[in-house]
Structure 1
Amino acid sequence: MVVQQSFPRPRPTTNPYLVMLAESLASVPGVSVKTFSWRTALLSRADVFHVHWPEILVSGQSPVKKLVRQALTLLLVAKLAVTRTPIVRTLHNLERPTGISRREQWLLALIERRTALWIRLNDDTPVPNGRPSVVIPHGHYRDWYGVDQVSEPVEGRVAFVGLIRRYKGVETLIEAFRELPGDVSLHVSGRPSTPELAAALEALAEPDPRTVLTLRFVDDAELVREITESRLVVLPYREMHNSGGVLTALSLGRPVLVPANDVNRRLAAEVGQNWVVQYDGDLDPRDIERALAVAASPSSGARPDLSAREWDLAGALHTEAYRAALTAVRRLAS
C-alpha cells in the first residue's frame, strides 16, 4: 500500500507528530509512505491520500502563489476522484480557519465531500459529513525528546511553553500568577503570534520579577529544559480539544494544569489523575497553588500512563484505517 501524505519532507521545524507518524507507517510491513510535493501528488501513483491541515494546500505567501496552489488543489482532487483514490483526513481542529476567502472555503468543502474516512484524535471530535470515522489517539513524544536532556525540577516553578496565541490565555496565567504568594516562579517561553501580544505580555509581567519571559521560538533542547525544570506546566487555553502541548509535558514527566472539559477528564482517567489537574471557570491563583501541591505528590520516578499512545500502535491503526477507506471506495465503485 502506497500512502501519499499531505506534508512535505520533514525539516527541523516540522511538527514532530507528522515525523513520527511517517516513521511509524514506514515500519509497517507492506506500507510505503510518500511525503508531499505537487509533482509527486499529481504525477505518481498512490493508494490513499492522507491530509492533515488541508488549508495549507490552498494557501500561499502571495496572491499569485495562492491562486496557483488552489488550481493545483482542484487538479489533485480531480485526479483522486478519477483514480478512485480515497482521501483520509485527520481532524486536528474542530473548525475551518477564519478569515479565508470564499474560494478557499469552497475548496476545503470539496475536500471534505471527497473524504472517505475521518481520523479523530479523541472520542469528542465531531465528524463533519457523517462519513465513517475511527479514533486513533495522538501519540506521545517520549521517543522524540528522549531522556538525555531532562533536568531536575526547580521547586515552585511553573511553566508555559509553546507558540503563544490569544486563545491560549497566557495573559490570564501571568495575571493569576502575580497574585500567588511565596517563593514561586513562572517561565513563559514561546513566540507570540503578534508584536501587540508580545508587548501586552511584557507589560503584564513587568511588575513581578518572579515572571521570566522568553518571547521567541524555542528549539527542542530549550523546550525540554524549560518543561523539565518546572514542577508544573499550565496551559490555560480558552478552548482546548487536541493539545500537543499537554502530551509534550506528560511525555517529559511533568503534570499539567488545564481547563476542565470532557476531553481532559478522559485524559486524566487514562494517564492518572495526578498528572492532569483541572480547573473550572477562569484560572485563579488558588488553582495554580492546588496544582503545585498535587504536582509534588507523585512518587519519585513515576510516569504518566501513555501506553495507549505508542507509535507502533498508531502505525498499525492508521494502516487499518487506510484499508477501511480503500474498501469503502471499492464498495461504492461496485
Structure 2
Amino acid sequence: MSGASRPLVVEAEPAFRTAHANPYNARLYVTMAADGCRVHDLSYVRLFTSRVDVVHLHWPELTFLTGRSWRMLARMLLFRAGLRIARWRNGTKLVWTVHNVASHERRATPALRAMHRRLLTEEVDGLLALTEGGLAAARAAYPELADVPGAVTPHGHYRDDYDFSASRDAAREERGIRTDATLVVSVGMIRTYKNIPDLVRTVARADDPSLVLAVAGKPAGDALAAEIRSAAAGDPRVVLDLGFQSDTAMSAWLRAADLVVLPYRAIQNSGSAILALSADRPVVVPRLGAMSELQAIVGDDWVRCYDGEFDADELERSIRWAQSPRPERAPLDRLDWTVISDATLAFYRDVRRGTP
C-alpha cells in the first residue's frame, strides 16, 4: 500500500487513557479510527521500534513536567531521542494542539521549563488550536513557531459522551433542588483560576430568595475547598457538592440548571462551557481567550460574555438573559466530531507532505 493511501499511524499523548476524566481526546481518536487511522496512547518503545507517522501532543506540560525533577528530565530526553529515531526511520512529524499557551500551575524549575520550551519549539512540525484566537495566542507566546504551519480544529461537543435525556424537573428531583428555584450551576474540576469563591460570595450577598447556586466539582486542594465553604457561610441557597463528579451527576447538575456560570480569571478555551452547551444550557463566561469566538459559533442566545468582574449587577443581568426564550437545542453543528476529525487528518497529511 502506498504512503498516500495507507492508514496513518498516530501516537497521541493522551489518546484514550484519560477518557474517564475528559472524553475530548478519546472522542477525537475514536472518530479518527473509524476513518481508518490507527491511534495509540504514546509509547516511547513504539517510537524507537515501530512505524509512526504522527506524534500528537495535547498538554505537554502534564506529560513532561510532573513528578520529581529527575523524572521530568528523563522523560524529555527519552522522548526527544525516540522522536529523532522515528524521524530518521519514518519521517515522523510532531503536531501540538495548543489548548493553553501556559500551564495554570507551575510544577517545574525554571531550567526544566526552559528545556521543555526548547523541546517544543525545536521539534514541533505543526500547530493546532481550538480557535483562531488560540492559534494567534500560541504564535504570540512562542514567536519561535511563527513559521510553523498551523490550523484550527474546534473543540467538539459532548453529546455522545453523557446522558442528557433527563428533564429539568427530573434532574432537580434527583439533585434535591426545588423546581421553582432559579438555579445557577458551576461544574467541573475546581482550580484557583476558575474564581469559584468569588462566585459563591456574590450569590451569598444577593437578596433573591429564589436564587440557588450549585458548585459541583473537586477542588484542587484542601485550602481551596475551605475557602469555598467559608465563602458560602452556611447560606442554604449555596449547595456545595465538592467531590469528584460521575458522568451521571455531572449531567444531572447541568440538566437541572437554568444557567451555567464559569467566572474564570484567566482562560483560553473551556471544555466546561462546551459541556454545558452539550446539555443545552446557556453559559455565562468572561470575555477572555476564545469565549467570544464560542459565542459567535453558537449565538448570543446561548453564550453570554461579560466584561470585568462577575459581581451582583452581572449576576442579575445574567439571570434575566437566561430567562429569555431560546430554542430547546443549542446549535452545535460546527462542533461535530466528524468534521473535526476530517480536518485533523487533513492537517496531518499536509504536515507529512510538507505542503500545509
TM-score normalised over the length of structure 1: 0.91
Distance 2:66 2:102 in 1: 20
Cα deviation, residue 112, structure 1: 2.6
Which residue of 60, 72, 78 corresponds with 2:78? 72
The answer for the alignment partner of 1:137 in structure 2 is 154
Cα deviation, residue 82, structure 1: 2.3
| Alignment size in residue pairs | 328
Q: Is the 8 A contact 1:47 1:86 kept in 2?
A: yes
Q: Is the 8 A contact 1:249 1:255 kept in 2?
A: yes
Q: What code does the residue aligned with 2:160 have?
A: D
Cα deviation, residue 321, structure 1: 0.6
**Quick check: 1:219 aligned with 2:236?**
no
Q: Which moved more, 1:49-58 or 1:214-223?
A: 49-58
Q: Secondary structure at the match of 1:278?
A: strand
- The sequence identity of aligned pairs, in percent, is 31
Cα deviation, residue 68, structure 1: 3.6
Q: Secondary structure at the match of 2:215?
A: strand
Cα deviation, residue 8, structure 1: 5.4
- In structure 2, relative to structure 1, the CA distance for the partners of 1:266 and 1:61 (3 Å cut) is closer
**Quick check: 1:36 aligned with 2:62?**
no
Q: Which moved more, 1:255-264 or 1:200-209?
A: 255-264
Q: Which moved more, 1:103-112 or 1:119-128?
A: 103-112
The answer for the alignment partner of 1:176 in structure 2 is 202
Cα deviation, residue 285, structure 1: 1.5
Runs of 5+ in structure 2 lacking a partner?
1-7, 173-178
- Larger RCO, structures 1/2 (Cα 8 Å, 6+ apart): 1
Deviation string for 1:40-96 (max 9, x for gaps)? 333221111111112233244345544442332232232244232110110011125
Q: Is the 8 A contact 2:18 2:26 kept in 1?
A: no
Cα deviation, residue 280, structure 1: 1.4
Distance 2:319 2:107 in 1: 39
The answer for the alignment partner of 2:175 in structure 1 is none
Distance 2:194 2:94 in 1: 31
Structure-to-structure mapping, 1:294-313, within 5 angstroms: 294-299=321-326, 302-313=328-339
The answer for the alignment partner of 1:18 in structure 2 is 25
Distance 1:51 1:26 in 2: 17
Cα deviation, residue 99, structure 1: 4.1
Structure-to-structure mapping, 1:1-334, within 5 angstroms: 1-7=8-14, 9-10=16-17, 13-29=20-36, 31-63=37-69, 65-83=71-89, 84-96=91-103, 98-101=106-109, 102-125=111-134, 126=137, 127=139, 128=142, 129-130=145-146, 131-149=148-166, 151-152=168-169, 154=179, 155-182=181-208, 183-261=210-288, 263-299=290-326, 302-328=328-354
Q: Secondary structure at the match of 2:219?
A: coil
Q: Is the 8 A contact 2:16 2:25 kept in 1?
A: no
Cα deviation, residue 187, structure 1: 0.5
Distance 1:265 1:60 in 2: 32
Cα deviation, residue 269, structure 1: 2.3
- In structure 2, relative to structure 1, the CA distance for the partners of 1:163 and 1:290 (3 Å cut) is same
Q: Secondary structure at the match of 2:331?
A: coil
Deviation string for 1:237-283 (max 9, x for gaps)? 00121100100000101111111246322222221202111221111
TM-score normalised over the length of structure 2: 0.86
- In structure 2, relative to structure 1, the CA distance for the partners of 1:9 and 1:303 (3 Å cut) is closer
Cα deviation, residue 166, structure 1: 1.0
Distance 2:12 2:321 in 1: 41
Q: Is the 8 A contact 2:15 2:26 kept in 1?
A: no
Q: Is the 8 A contact 1:140 1:309 kept in 2?
A: yes
Runs of 5+ in structure 1 lacking a partner?
none
Distance 2:15 2:275 in 1: 23
- In structure 2, relative to structure 1, the CA distance for the partners of 1:7 and 1:305 (3 Å cut) is same
Cα deviation, residue 3, structure 1: 1.4
Distance 1:107 1:160 in 2: 33
Distance 1:293 1:197 in 2: 30
Q: What code does the residue aligned with 2:311 have?
A: D
